[in-house]
């Protein structure tokens, strides 16, 4: 087998292999050549070449999201590394194990005006779980360290001994740092950064390894819930007649059915879920905005919980955030073995367990169900909202809302739905998603910048087919995502094109002015047709209900190329139809 000659590159590659980091997304460059040589010549690794580093990082994030294991991105020195930052921050807030490996210039070339050189040490400081800043190998006895690194040598023999010892220290340090970084990504589920300095020559290769790095196993420490915390929770739970469980971003099938069924039996508990909760039960409450938005103050007071229990990732619904900040519960517990956000400004207890482990510990010891009409009251509201929702959908004209109604109903069973951000995920939230469909969205930072790339990475890693629904601005913003030789032919992309950022029409602001049209909504006349031709996607278009129905009938059928359906909607009425909806369903 062929290896890079540089021991540091060999060390990085061997430890990635030993720790099972299999998927490597490489962006072309020269300084990262030793890493590229090593990864691409070892059949253990599945390597991808993606030129645009921002797209490459989101592509890797999509793979890691599905496999739940560290996926690596590898880049050259300089600004290439900074293009990873949007995906790094998304991984940080979404608990996705992303392994960033950046090549760097030697220390003595940083800060002197050398080309393609920036300060790469700790560059992701505020959005990273661990930064490993590796040390440059000593190439040979001619490479004398600076006076800060070694004292003056008395003789040549002393020099060789000191250099040999220093190289051993460097190798040990680098092994420990690489081990720690990958272990942290595995255990804590988030992004880590390994910065690797290389000196020239970069392209030399050998047929035997010169190092055998030590493997340090990850050691996960499980937190125990203090007895007094559990006792207090039991007492509060057993006396409360209004308990709300709110679930944020949650992976499919993560919560055992046994606990869902037991929670559903309790009439004093309502469970609010979002599309990204991937949690389904007939007695739970999806489409939170549909339930909450039309409430009057008296109804909101009636819904105010005594106890709020949250788990999962970040919450999408602004309306539930506003509601719980105004009508705060007496007690708020968050269940997560990593962290707890005080989203509603009333967090009382952080229970450092996985939800399954907590429910296993807690629910069997709940002594009785409190007599309550809490769930019954809100079940009646849910049923009323559902009837009004159907009536509204039957009477509105072709629009964004009507499109989402048709598109979401068209998705076949056992698909993965990747949603774009902004209006796309908010429209999706208003509809009940079938249990067999898994829903994902980049809600860590809620940006539009890498949704398409993430969806493609997901489609590559998953055994299930993927459909990606996005708005026009998000799609064009990340159109380099299609500059990708790995897109599965069963990927389906749906672009809802209302020729601008339609969500800004829903938000407060002065509409229909030149300033608004240019700087907020960002009017345009672009279509995805030429992008599809350039990148080899089958392109279809729909402009009304009839053409949309016809397109959707064949859209999911097998094809030799991935497909994109662009749906043009009349932007002038979309905001009015959505805003009127919440009044209608009251």
pLDDT in tens, 346-364: 999 999 999 999 999 999 9
What does the pLDDT read at residue 574?
A: 92
- What is the C-alpha end-to-end distance of the chain, expressed in Å? 69
Span of 72-86, 154-168, 442-456, 538-552 with lowest mean pLDDT: 154-168
Q: What pLDDT, on a 0 to 100 scale, did the predictor assign at position 145?
A: 53
pLDDT classification of 153: cutoffs 50, 70, 90? very low
How many helices (H) and strands (E) the chain has is answered by 22, 19
Judge whether residue 144 has pLDDT over 60.
Answer: no
| Mean pLDDT (whole number) for 543-564 | 97
Separation between Cα atoms, residue 166 and residue 169, nearest integer Å: 5
pLDDT cut 70: percent of the chain above it: 92
* Distance, CA of 248 to chain centre: 13
Q: Where residue 503 falls among pLDDT bands split at 50, 70, 90?
A: low
DSSP string, 237-255: HHH-S-EEEEE-S--TT-S
Angle at 483 between CA 478 and CA 487, to 5 degrees: 100
Query: What value does the mean pLDDT of the chain take?
Result: 93
Residues in the chain: 586
CATH architecture of the domain with residue range 396-584: 3-Layer(aba) Sandwich (3.40)
DSSP per position, 195-224: EEE--S----EESS-S--PPP------PPP
pLDDT of residue 142: 41
Cis peptide preceding 201, ω within 30 of 0:
yes
Per-residue model confidence (pLDDT) at position 140: 44
CATH 3.40.50.970 fits 3-199, yes or no: yes
CB 227 within 8 A of CB 248: no
In this model, does residue 412 exceed pLDDT 90?
yes
pLDDT at residue number 156: 54
Over range 491-520, report the average pLDDT. Answer: 75
Query: pLDDT per residue over 289-339, tens digit each?
Result: 999 999 999 999 999 999 999 999 999 999 999 999 999 999 999 999 999
Alpha helices in 327-465 (DSSP H): 355-362, 374-395, 400-410, 423-428, 451-461
The domain spans of the chain are: 3-199, 227-379, 396-584
CA atoms within 13 A on the CB side of 552: 21
Angle formed by the axes of helices 7-18 and 33-40, to 10°? 40
Closest C-alpha to 92, from 123, 136, 130: 130
Backbone angles phi, psi at 267, to 5 degrees: -70, -10
Average of per-residue pLDDT across 563-572:
95
- The pLDDT value recorded for residue 420 is 97
Q: How far apart are CA 25 and CA 55, in angstroms?
A: 10
Residue 11 phi/psi, 5° resolution? Answer: -65, -45
Output the pLDDT for position 499.
Answer: 87
The stretch 358-383 carries a mean pLDDT of 92
For 460-482, the pLDDT digits (tens) are 999 999 999 999 999 999 999 99
5: confidence class by pLDDT, cuts 50, 70, 90: very high
As beta bridge partners, residue 418 has 440, 468
The CATH homologous superfamily for domain 227-379 is: TPP-binding domain (3.40.50.1220)
Residue among 535, 403, 526 at smallest CA distance from 472: 526
The Cβ of residue 409 has, within 10 Å, a number of other Cβ atoms equal to 10
Q: 10 Å Cβ neighbour count for 64?
A: 29
Interatomic CA distance for residues 15 and 23, integer angstroms: 14
Same fold, 3-199 and 227-379: yes
Please check whether residue 116 is in contact with residue 198, taking contact to mean a CB–CB distance below 8 angstroms: no
Q: Return the H-helix or E-strand segment holding 57.
A: helix 53-67
Per-residue confidence at 281, pLDDT binned at 50, 70, 90? very high
């Amino acid at each position: 087998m062929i290896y890079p000659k540089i021991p540091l590159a060999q060390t990085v590659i061997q430890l990635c292999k030993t720790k099972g980091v299999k998927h490597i997304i490489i962006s072309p460059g020269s300084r990262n050549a030793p890493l590229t040589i090593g990864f691409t010549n070892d059949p253990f690794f599945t390597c991808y070449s993606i030129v645009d580093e921002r797209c490459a990082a989101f592509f890797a994030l999509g793979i890691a999201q599905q496999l739940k294991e560290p996926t690596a991105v590898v880049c050259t020195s300089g600004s290439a590394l900074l293009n990873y930052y949007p995906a790094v921050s998304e991984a940080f807030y979404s608990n996705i194990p992303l392994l960033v490996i950046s090549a760097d210039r030697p220390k003595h070339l940083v800060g002197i005006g050398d080309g393609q050189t920036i300060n790469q040490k700790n560059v992701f400081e505020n959005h990273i779980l661990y930064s490993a800043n590796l040390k440059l190998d000593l190439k040979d006895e001619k490479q004398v360290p600076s006076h800060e690194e070694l004292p003056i040598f008395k003789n040549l023999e002393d020099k060789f001994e000191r250099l040999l010892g220093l190289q051993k220290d460097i190798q040990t340090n680098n092994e420990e740092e690489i081990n720690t970084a990958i272990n942290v990504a595995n255990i804590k589920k988030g992004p880590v950064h390994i910065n690797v300095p290389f000196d020239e020559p970069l392209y030399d290769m050998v047929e035997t390894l010169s190092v055998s790095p030590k493997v340090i196993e990850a050691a996960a420490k499980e937190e125990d819930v203090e007895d007094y915390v559990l006792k207090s929770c039991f007492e509060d739970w057993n006396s409360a007649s209004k308990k709300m469980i709110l679930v944020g971003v949650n992976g499919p099938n993560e919560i055992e059915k046994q606990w869902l069924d037991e929670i559903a039996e309790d009439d004093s508990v309502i469970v609010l879920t979002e599309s990204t909760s991937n949690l389904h039960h007939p007695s739970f409450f999806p489409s939170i905005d549909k339930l909450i938005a039309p409430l009057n103050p008296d109804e909101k007071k009636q819904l105010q919980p005594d106890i709020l229990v949250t788990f999962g990732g970040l919450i999408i619904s602004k309306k539930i955030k506003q509601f719980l900040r105004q009508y705060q519960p007496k007690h708020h517990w968050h269940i997560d073995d990593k962290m707890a956000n005080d989203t509603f400004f009333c967090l009382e207890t952080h229970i450092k367990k996985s939800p399954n482990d907590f429910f296993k510990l807690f629910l069997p010891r709940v002594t009785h169900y409190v007599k309550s009409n809490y769930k019954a009251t809100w079940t009646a509201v849910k049923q009323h909202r559902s009837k009004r929702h159907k009536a509204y959908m039957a009477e509105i004209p072709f629009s964004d809302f009507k499109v989402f109604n048709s598109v979401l109903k068209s998705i076949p069973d056992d698909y993965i739905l990747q949603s774009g951000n902004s209006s796309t995920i908010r429209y999706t939230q208003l509809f009940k998603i079938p249990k067999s469909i898994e829903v994902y969205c980049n809600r860590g930072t809620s940006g539009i910048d890498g949704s398409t790339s993430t969806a493609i990475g997901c489609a590559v890693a998953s055994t299930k087919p993927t459909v990606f629904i996005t708005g026009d601005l998000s799609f064009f913003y990340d159109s380099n995502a299609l500059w990708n030789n790995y897109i599965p032919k069963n990927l389906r992309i749906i672009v809802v094109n209302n020729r601008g950022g339609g969500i800004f029409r829903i938000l407060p602001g002065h509409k229909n002015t030149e300033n608004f049209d240019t700087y907020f909504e960002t009017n345009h006349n672009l279509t995805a047709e030429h992008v599809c031709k350039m990148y080899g996607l089958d392109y279809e278009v729909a402009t009304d209900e009839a053409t949309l129905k016809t397109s959707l009938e064949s859209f999911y059928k097998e094809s030799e190329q991935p497909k994109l359906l662009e749906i043009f909607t009349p932007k002038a009425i979309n905001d009015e139809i959505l805003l009127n909806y919440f009044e209608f369903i009251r």
